[in-house]
Amino acid sequence: MVRIQLGLEGICHVVPSLHWFRWQFVLESSDAFYTGNVYSKELTVKDIYAKHTEGGMAVEVTRAVDGVRTFLHFAQRVHVTCTERQDGYEVRWRDMRFWHNHKLPFGVDVTLDRDLKVVSQTLGWRKKAWDPPYV
C-alpha cells in the first residue's frame, strides 16, 4: 500500500505501533528514504532523507572506524550525514528503521579534526529510556 500510494519502487519496512491500525514506515528508494505513518488507510509522509551526502573524504575515512564497521554490520537502512565545523567534521551514521518524531536516535557519531584524524566516536542510542521507539 505504501509503495502504491507514493508511486515509488523500493524496499519498505512497516512497523506496527501500540495502537490499532497505526504503523510507521520507512521506504528506501534509489535516491532517498521516505518516513511516515499509516493510520487506517491514510498515509502521511513525515520526512524525506536524501541518500547521497556531501563530505566524501570525511565519510570514507570513518568507514574504517571500529564503531562504524560494527554498526554497518547489523544496520539495514543506513543514512549518513557530514557536517563541517570550525575544528573539523562530524559524521553521523543512522539506521532509518528506528526513526521517531523527526529524529534518528540510533547510530554512530564520529568527530574528525581538520586532518581527518578521529577525535571521538560514539555508538548507541541518543534518547532517554522512556522515549519511543521502545526497542
Helix (H, G, I), strand (E, B) or coil at 71: helix
pLDDT of residue 134: 62
Distance, CA of 19 to CA of 17 (rounded, Å): 5
Distance, CA of 61 to CA of 111 (rounded, Å): 11
Q: Which amino acid is it at 122?
A: T
Please, are residues 22 and 10 in contact by the beta-carbon 8 Å criterion? Answer: no
Regarding whether 110 and 81 lie in a shared domain, the answer is yes
Give the distance, in angstroms, between the CA of residue 40 and the centroid of all CA atoms in the same chain: 25
How confident is residue 103, by pLDDT bands cut at 50, 70 and 90? confident
Residue 85 lies in a domain: yes
Residue 131 lies in a domain: no
Regarding whether 32 and 68 lie in a shared domain, the answer is no
Q: What is the pLDDT of residues 31-77, one digit of tens each?
A: 999 999 999 889 999 999 988 777 789 999 999 999 999 999 988 88
pLDDT of residue 34: 94
Regarding whether 37 and 74 lie in a shared domain, the answer is no
pLDDT of residue 18: 81
Within the chain, how many helices (H) and strands (E) appear? 3, 8
Regarding whether 6 and 64 lie in a shared domain, the answer is no
pLDDT of residue 93: 94
pLDDT of residue 47: 92
7: Cβ–Cβ under 8 A, 6 or more apart, which residues? none
Q: What is the pLDDT of residues 83-100, one digit of tens each?
A: 999 999 999 999 988 887
Q: What is the mean pLDDT of residues 94-112?
A: 87
Domain hosting 25: range is 2-49
Please, are residues 39 and 22 in contact by the beta-carbon 8 Å criterion? Answer: yes
